[in-house]
């Protein structure tokens, strides 16, 4: 199954999600729908809402209005974190377009993020299932903690791989994991199926962020939607850089230390580190770990628990697509 077939499987339901999103960004304050509309039109595959719905179908549930509202709630939280991250990182381009903070300013970006979080809460405020509210609240807390840990670890090559993996779980794995959990809860799945879907989401979330971190060094602006090397220049110490640093001689370690402290790196300096990263197998190491997470994720979707169906195939396709995002960049890179 191709990823396009997955979205086709949920075509009508994804339209319902979009309709719910549009309904909940309406306001008498004209700036709210103006900026929100710009943000929501900026691309993205709606992976988190898709996972809420997919998990629901795997557990033999229907895509009810309640499922759609929770899918929308998760997407609002995700969008809010992007807005806040772009302010913290002073990001100017995302998905090939100016970021909200570049176009309207940091104040507007922060306030809109706050608005989307409040709308997310409101969407589920009247839900009778306390476990869904608790799950979303816990995931939101993890997200914020992850952002704070990432901020406090910026430009620090002393962090361990374990600490880095904890950051990406909190920042990415937690919200993808809870997307799957919500689908299970909303479909009244048994505890074993729910735990399996939570672990599936956690592991593909880890892989997703690892691949994103690789693509900052080994992709193209067309694919990435922002300049390659952006995260490196902003001082984010991700696994490819940690691996390179850990396996370099003392002389090159000093070079890396100087690069990571410099907030005005040139493209030439980035390309130098990029070449060293490929030579030192830092990209391969990180991708291998991402593949391990994908393989582990698939083990939690046992056909004996989740019967063979288009929805099980779709789950595996989403997992595989995480790695394929990077593979799509390889021909272009090999020609340079």
Distance (Å, whole) CA 169 – CA 237: 15
What's the token pair of residue 263? 């907030």
Q: Which of 132-141, 221-230, 322-331 has the highest mean pLDDT?
A: 132-141
The pLDDT of 195-202, averaged and rounded, is 97
Mean pLDDT confidence for 81-85: 92
Runs of H (alpha helix) within 90-190: 100-104, 106-124, 130-152, 161-168, 174-186
What is the maximum alpha-carbon separation in the chain? 60
Strand partners, 145: none
pLDDT, one tens digit per residue, over 145-159 is 999 999 898 899 999
Strands (E), the chain: 93-94, 97-98
Domain containing residue 102: 3-334
More confident residue, 334 or 217: 217
Q: What is the mean pLDDT of residues 224-248?
A: 88
Which CATH number characterizes residue 40's domain?
1.10.600.10
pLDDT classification of 334: cutoffs 50, 70, 90: very low
Instruction: Count up the domains in the chain and report the number.
Output: 1
How far is it, in rounded angstroms, from Cα 301 to Cα 289? 20
Query: CA separation (Å) from 28 to 31, 34, 111, 115?
Result: 9, 11, 16, 13
First to last CA, the chain: 31
How is residue 172 written in tokens? 């990415």
Share of the chain above pLDDT 70, in %: 97
Are 103 and 38 in contact by the 8 Å Cβ rule? The answer is yes
The pLDDT tens digits of the residues spanning 154-184 come to 899 999 999 999 999 999 999 999 999 999 9
Sign (positive or negative) of CA dihedral 152, 157, 158, 161: positive
Task: Please report the pLDDT score of residue 335 as a whole number.
Answer: 35
Q: With contact defined as beta carbons under 8 Å apart, do 87 and 108 qualify? A: no
At 93, the pLDDT band (50, 70, 90 cuts) reads confident
Q: Is the dihedral of CA 77, 316, 194, 296 positive or negative?
A: negative
**Residue 329 confidence (pLDDT):** 53
The proportion of the chain whose per-residue pLDDT surpasses 90, expressed as a percent, equals 75
Name the pTM for this structure: 0.92
d(CA 63, CA 54): 9
What per-residue confidence (pLDDT) applies to 316?
A: 95
Confidence of residue 33 (pLDDT cuts 50, 70, 90): very high
DSSP 98: E
DSSP-derived letter for residue 300 is T
Q: Across the chain, what does the average pLDDT equal? A: 91
What tokens does 305 get? 């628990």
Residues 80, 109: Cα–Cα separation, whole Å: 9
């Amino acid at each position: 199954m191709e990823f396009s077939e997955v979205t086709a499987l949920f075509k009508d339901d994804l339209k319902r999600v979009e309709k719910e999103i549009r309904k909940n960004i309406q306001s008498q304050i004209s700036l709210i729908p103006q900026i929100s509309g710009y943000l929501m039109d900026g691309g993205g595959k709606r992976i988190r809402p898709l996972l809420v719905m997919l998990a629901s179908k795997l557990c033999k549930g229907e895509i009810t209005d309640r499922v759609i509202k929770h899918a929308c709630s998760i997407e609002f939280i995700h969008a809010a974190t992007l807005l806040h991250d772009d302010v913290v990182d002073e990001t100017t381009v995302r998905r090939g377009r100016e970021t909200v903070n570049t176009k309207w300013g940091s104040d507007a970006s922060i306030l809109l993020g706050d608005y989307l979080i409040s709308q997310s809460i409101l969407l589920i405020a009247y839900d009778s299932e306390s476990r869904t509210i608790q799950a979303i609240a816990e995931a939101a807390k993890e997200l914020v903690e992850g952002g704070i840990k990432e901020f406090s670890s910026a430009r620090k090559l002393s962090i361990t791989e374990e600490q880095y993996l904890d950051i990406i779980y909190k920042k990415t794995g937690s919200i993808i994991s809870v997307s799957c959990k919500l689908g299970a809860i909303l479909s009244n799945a048994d505890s074993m199926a729910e735990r399996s879907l939570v672990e599936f989401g956690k592991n593909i979330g880890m892989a997703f962020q690892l691949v994103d971190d690789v693509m900052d060094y080994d992709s193209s602006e067309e694919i990435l939607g922002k300049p390659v090397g952006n995260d490196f220049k902003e001082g984010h110490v991700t696994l490819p850089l940690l691996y390179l640093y850990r396996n370099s001689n003392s002389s090159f370690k000093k070079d890396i230390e100087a690069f990571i402290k410099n907030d005005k790196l040139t493209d030439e300096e980035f390309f130098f580190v990029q070449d060293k990263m490929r030579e030192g197998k830092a990209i391969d190491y990180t991708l291998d770990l991402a593949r391990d997470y994908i393989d582990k994720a698939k083990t939690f979707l046992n056909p004996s628990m989740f019967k063979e169906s288009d929805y099980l195939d779709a789950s595996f396709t989403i997992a595989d697509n995480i790695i394929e995002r990077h593979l799509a960049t390889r021909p272009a890179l090999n020609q340079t």
